[in-house]
Amino acid sequence: MIIRTIKYLPLYAVLTVCALAVLYPMIYTFSYALMTPSEAQAYPPNILPSGIYLKNFSDVLNLVPIDRFLLNSFIVSIAVVAGQLITSSLAAYAFAFIPFRGKSLVFSLFLSTMMIPWEVTIIPNYITIRSWGWMDSYAGLTVPFMASAFGIFLLRQHFLQLPRELLEAARIDGCGHLRIYAGIVLPIARPALATLAVYQFLNTWNMYFWPLLITNRDTMRTVQIGISMLKWEEAMSHNLVLGGVTLVLLPSLLTLVFGLKQLVRGITAGAVKG
């Protein structure tokens, strides 16, 4: 056992260095968020704070309406996740279990949209949202993202792994597609649904360009846009900015920590069967 451990010591050392390199920006952010203004401006820079200085967080809440930004981001993220779960699961069920003419072609067209860069669709989406009067609204922030080819693909791959005998038994008992979908497929597919929910929540929470493009009022800003209001042209207080960044990071970090297992399990399961 000892010899085997020694054999893998170089590998563990490399992995430890890589982990520290990945975690360093986060450690730096949390450390500066707890520093006093004098510690944050010291040279050479301090690595760790001398104590826990929580006034940075209260100053952030007083300077910008970060609570409103957090609420907006939660509303937008939860709405997009709910829309993706509904549309993706329904479409995935149809592609997995309902035979119709041209199904393979339609599914290929859906997948081909994954190769279209998001930047290409920004202008058409912006023109559409503006023509509908959805600027500065939750509808404009959420509706363009309530369906995705990735979600359909992920859930379809998971649905294809369900035992056919179970579905055939349900049909013999007189169950229709809606009852099979709601009573059998969705409960069994909870890991895949959780995977999609975690993945989409993180993506939506971290959106920057689209909320910046279609929102003009501070009351509709999301956290990624609102946090930039802590920087001024004349000066910048690093401890305040990183205190705000810490508040913004906490929800996504908690989601990632509690949903990482489902995220990894769902993505790997979806890649088993084509």
User: Rounded to whole angstroms, how far apart are CA atoms 114 and 105?
Assistant: 15
Distance CA 245, CA 53 (A): 15
Choose among 119, 135, 143: nearest CA to 213.
Answer: 135
Give the separation between CA 243 and CA 1, rounded to whole angstroms: 45
Q: Is 7 exposed, middle or buried (0-12, 13-18, 19+ CB in 10 A)?
A: exposed
Exposure class string for 166-189: b at 16+ Cβ within 10 A, else e: ebeebeeeebeeeebbeebbbeeb
Q: Which token pair is 257?
A: 């920590």
Whether residue 195 contacts residue 157, with contact meaning beta carbons closer than 8 Å, is answered with no
Mean pLDDT computed over 197-206: 89
Q: What is the pLDDT of residues 118-173, one digit of tens each?
A: 888 899 999 999 999 999 999 999 999 999 899 999 899 889 888 888 888 888 88
The per-residue pLDDT for 233 is 45
